[in-house]
Amino acid sequence: MHMSLRPLLSVTLGDTSLLTTPPLLLSSWDACSVNNLSSARKALNHQRYPVGLLLLNNSRDADAIDVDALLEAHQSTQWVGVFPAEIIKLPVYRALIVQHLFDFHTWPIDPFRLNHTLGHAYGYAELSGSPDITISAKRDMELVGQSEAIQQLRRQINKVAQANAPVLIWGESGSGKELTAHAIHNHSKRAHGPFIAVNCGAIPASLIQSELFGYERGAFTGAAKEKRGLIESAAGGTLFLDEIGDLPLELQTNLLRFLQERTINRIGSSNSIEVDVRVIAASHVRLEDAVKSGLFREDLLYRLNVLPLTVPALRERKEDLELLARHFFKVFSHDKNPRLTGFSNRAMLAIKAHDWPGNVRELINRIRRALVMSEGRLITPEDLDLQMQTGLRNGEALEEARIRAERDAIHVCLQGSGSNVTRAARDLGVSRMTLYRLMEKHGISP
């Protein structure tokens, strides 16, 4: 394939003798031509096509429901349709065009106009697809981000995973402590063993001992048969104790004994059971403070805190916000309005201005809500239930706040437009010359 040719998937549905890819297109595109939906799916699963050309005639073979399913499954491809005029009068095809197509034409084909449309679709695909390039290659960790804080966490995970000692993870609620624990497990020699997660604050104090250590038949009323505890269930793998600070003091003693002796006793049994398991604990409170308050055993803290890790709060890695937002937009896209294509510049400004006290969990929840509630093509701050921040930073004068907001808005709009000054000016509601003057004022290059 010549490097200058752009990949294009041409899908012809109907009488293939009537519907052929126009010769003019073949000179400027590396066209893969198929004549049924099954072949189209195979081609799209095999490689990425930024642009798809959908050619339909009056044939009943071109079933709108099946076509809709194909386009829904491959939304990253910018689709251009060519239809008979009478087909687009049908409601099902009108909905298909509005929800899924970049543009459409009617027969007969005007090759020059169609080629121009496809070129525009290709440029749009490259712009909208560019953020994916920056997603970390460390996909197996599922820790999305390029900030120094998240890269340092990845490096620490790789080191910690090679050891077998206990790990204590600290991080604010919603920051990704369990995801970090999973990454440690998946990169360790125990990766093929079980990963058992226990939220110590979610299990009633009266049940947590039997849940962790198990019990023998007849140990108490209702114990009709013996039961393995969660520690035994994690044998050969990893036991993740989330919110370890909520563990009752009497259970802390039993856990300490297990960490020291690597054995447990089921409730109602005097026999010791040896268990090979790695313990990873996590807390959103500083356990040193809990020790001072008498709520956590100091000797247990020392046992757990062999390999400490800190998960950064989202506000400490704000450079990852756009990447994370687009990542979760794709992850939960099955819930979205089909017409929704991404975030408005105003929404991205609001995301970057928010402090995210609920961390990544809050970001996920707001994006999932927006995917369902948004009625337009782009998510707005209102869809995210975020207000544009106009407050002053500590010690910041009004003029300084205005200059900062102006500079941030220019940066976001230029980034969102792929450094296209004309489009950024349109998004900002100013002329190109005004935007150029503002860019010079703030020292911003396109």
| Residue 37 sits in the same domain as residue 106 | yes
CA distance 174 to 356: 10
User: Which of 95-99, 346-350, 420-424, 425-429 has the highest average model confidence (pLDDT)?
Assistant: 346-350
Q: Which domain holds residue 362?
A: 316-442
Q: What is the pLDDT of residue 159?
A: 93
Residue 31 tokens, joined: 């066209």
pLDDT at 36: 85
Does residue 32 sit in the same domain as residue 97? yes
Cis peptide before 108 (omega within 30 of 0): yes
Q: Which of 98, 133, 168 represents a domain boundary (last residue)?
A: 133
pTM of the model: 0.62
DSSP string, 3-62: TTSEEEEEEEES-TTT----HHHHTTEEEEEESSHHHHHHHHHHS--SEEEEEE-S-TTS
Of 287, 310, 333, the residue that ends a domain is 310
Phi and psi dihedrals of 179, rounded to 5? -60, -40
- Whether residue 179 is predicted with pLDDT greater than 80 in this model: the reply is yes
Phi, psi dihedral angles at 216 (to 5 degrees): -95, 160
Count: domains in the chain: 3
Position 133 scores a pLDDT of 34
342, 303, 305: which is closest to 326 by C-alpha?
Answer: 342
* CATH classification at residue 380: 1.10.8.60
Give residue 156's pLDDT: 94
Domain boundary among 269, 289, 310: 310
The reply to whether 1 falls in a domain is: no
pLDDT at 140 over 60: no
Assess whether 122 and 147 both reside in one domain.
no
**pLDDT tens track for 293-325:** 999 999 999 999 999 999 999 999 988 998 899
